[in-house]
Chains A and B, each alone.
Chain A
Amino acid sequence: MSDQTGIDRITQAFAHAQTTQSAALMPYFTLGYPSPAESVAIIEKFAPHCDLIELGVPFSDPIADGPTIQRSTQKSLDAGTTVKKCLAMVSELRTRGVDTPAMLMGYYNPIMAYGIDNYVRDAKAAGADGLIVPDLPPEESAELEAAADKHGIAYIFFLAPTSNEARIDAVAERAKGFIYMVSVAGVTGARTQIRTGLDEFVRDVRAKAAVPVAVGFGISSPDQARTVGDYADGVIVGSALVNAYDAGGADSAGEFVAALRAGLTN
């Protein structure tokens, strides 16, 4: 693993998924939810059914997240989760043989508090492959991006339905690993409908970008995953997975991810 950069591993995961699926599957789960030990076991359970994985580092004030993920991150913090413990959980997953490329999703303030270079270095050492920071637009990301380049980890850019042509072009130019496309203007959370026009928007971005485009926010069922997977390179599912865990524990979480995967398989 050490001779490959995070970008290489992400690129390979998308390419590999293409051989048997319409799109790569990237579930999200909150590290430390409902407790550090349990979250590692839950992630281990569903990891075999996914191509990449997004792991949430909790923050007290998650402005881009809806009620489900807010609740899970607050419970994680209440259980004593810290940034350091999150990195230890990633290490533990790698030790247990979970080799799925992993993105760390966390807000900027805890990263600043940890120290930007230290965070990227320790994230890479723990086995993370990419960094997702929802409150860090391209205008402010130069320092973290440079640290990510230095340590061989992918800094992931977002695009949103509100992004104009100039912003799409700039992100398409700078993006590494993949582009995280937000499906709707809003916060994270399971939704019953996929926005009309999303397919055109995704196709437009894919035409411009050299990296895969993964769509997240609001995708909550295998049917929706299949619909989005028909035009996107990757599908990200977060709140619906946390809901599945809440409803039936780790087994339900595993079954839900397996069903999403089945929906994407050719």
Chain B
Amino acid sequence: MLPFEVISAEVPDTRGKFGPYGGQFVPETLMPALAELIDAYNDAIDDPAFIAEFKHLLNTYVGRPSPITYAKRLTEHLGGAQIYFKREDLNHTGAHKINNALGQALLAMRMGKTRIVAETGAGQHGVGTATACALLGLECIVYMGEVDIARQLPNVRRMRLLGTTVEPVSSGSRTLKDAINEAIRDWVTNVDDTHYLLGSVLGPHPYPMIVRDFQSVIGQEARQQMLSQVGRLPDAIVACVGGGSNAMGIFHAFRDDAGVDFIGVEAGGHGVESGEHAARFADLNISRLGVLHGTKSYVMQSEDGQIMETHSISAGLDYPSVGPEHAYFRDQERAGYTSATDAEAMEAFQITCKLEGIIPALESSHAVAEVLKLAPKMSKDQIILVNMSGRGDKDLGQVIEVLGME
């Protein structure tokens, strides 16, 4: 039986605060819409029929539960801790993003919204949203930066085939940040009939909570699978962190398991010292407490408070802020955060392909890159659980170019 329930936690509070982080920093026009969303969400999660429908779709449409896989050859290669993958890459549409997209699309229908807008970076959230909208008969518009359209073209084609309108965004850095700006502008203009289906644990309250809760199915399954198939919980869980939804999704169910360490891996780009990265927790001179896209968290910014352009080989991690609950976890020392460079992620990508027969997303390759460093330092009776958050089919064009193959 598929395990899913909404797990209560000490955060956020009723104003959406995770300690000093989070909140609702949006124009007045949107405040009533956020209040409506909070009410609709609280009502939905108290309704057994809503939970049952969500679980039914996760089971019969997404193909959940996704398995955990023992990475035998990678474990032997590294000679340390035993490595398990949580296989979100096997989900329908190829990543964890579909979990939240379906949950929010069901919620939108409950609120009587007929039109969905979303942002996407790597395109996985866009494809997940386009898929949910096709399934449920909702109009769908996805905003995507021109830089990301170029590097994730297969996902753009998928969205169009699924009947979604992909709106290219040419402002600013033409990546995820600018796509979110445009999605918010669309939402504020069409708020009567439109739901903004935000794809990560970001944005104004209640989004960081809603996305965490829907994605928590990852950790709820993994926890049960570790206990029943391996006989115990892992010593560490490793996940990549862009906005942070796959990481929060796998962490949440383990938050009270004190023996399980959480490690989030940010995009180190060309290296933290180069300044060209998206490692919000690594360089606190340029990444400071700020407000972006409706939430207070760490934000990469100039001295003058202008948002900086970030760099990562991975479009899904290329974002100047990070989910407020991650900032909270870091303060509480519940989670540790590190980074992997583009080059380290590419190496991890190739090793995963050759040793495990899995082509990982470039985002998830950042998590594996940390495992390459961590596992050899751990003993053979210890266990690392890695969130294999997505598959790498979308990245083939980019990877082949970087490797000079063809």
* Interface residues of A, Cβ cutoff 8 Å to B: 59-64, 66, 70, 74, 77, 82-84, 107-114, 134-137, 139-140, 158-164, 167, 182, 185-187
**Contact of A185 with B25 at beta-carbon distance under 8 Å, contacts A109-B292, A110-B304, A167-B32 already known:** no
Q: Are A111 and B172 in contact (CB under 8 A)?
A: no
Q: Spot the interface stretch: B3-11, B185-193, B349-357.
A: B185-193
Q: Are A137 and B301 in contact (CB under 8 A)?
A: no
Measured as residues with beta carbon below 8 angstroms from the partner, the interface class of chain B is 35 or more
**Contact of A61 with B26 at beta-carbon distance under 8 Å, contacts A66-B185, A187-B188 already known:** no
**Contact of A113 with B304 at beta-carbon distance under 8 Å, contacts A140-B23, A185-B192 already known:** yes
**Contact of A158 with B303 at beta-carbon distance under 8 Å, contacts A135-B291, A186-B188, A187-B189 already known:** no
Contacts of B178 in A (CB 8 A): 61
Q: Are A110 and B27 in contact (CB under 8 A)?
A: no
Contacts of A136 in B (CB 8 A): 25
Q: Are A63 and B171 in contact (CB under 8 A)?
A: no
Q: Are A137 and B24 in contact (CB under 8 A)?
A: yes
Q: Taking the nearest CB of chain A, how far is it from the CB of B268, in angstroms?
A: 23
B15 contacts chain A at the CB level, 8 A cutoff: yes
Return 11 A-B CB contacts under 8 Å, by A number.
A61-B292, A63-B27, A82-B304, A109-B292, A109-B305, A112-B291, A113-B288, A113-B305, A135-B26, A159-B28, A162-B191
- Bound form: Cα–Cα A139–B290 in Å: 17
**Contact of A160 with B27 at beta-carbon distance under 8 Å, contacts A113-B304, A114-B305, A186-B189 already known:** yes
Contacts of B189 in A (CB 8 A): 185-187
Please name the residue on chain B nearest to A180 by beta carbon.
B28
Our pick among B28, B304, B307 for the contact of A158 (Cβ within 8 Å) is B28
- Bound form: Cα–Cα A15–B181 in Å: 38
B275 contacts chain A at the CB level, 8 A cutoff: no
Please name the residue on chain B nearest to A158 by beta carbon.
B28
B59 contacts chain A at the CB level, 8 A cutoff: no
B289 contacts chain A at the CB level, 8 A cutoff: yes
B289-306 near A? 1/0 per residue, CB < 8 Å: 111111000010111111
Q: Are A140 and B185 in contact (CB under 8 A)?
A: no
Q: Are B24 and A113 in contact (CB under 8 A)?
A: no
Q: Are B288 and A139 in contact (CB under 8 A)?
A: no
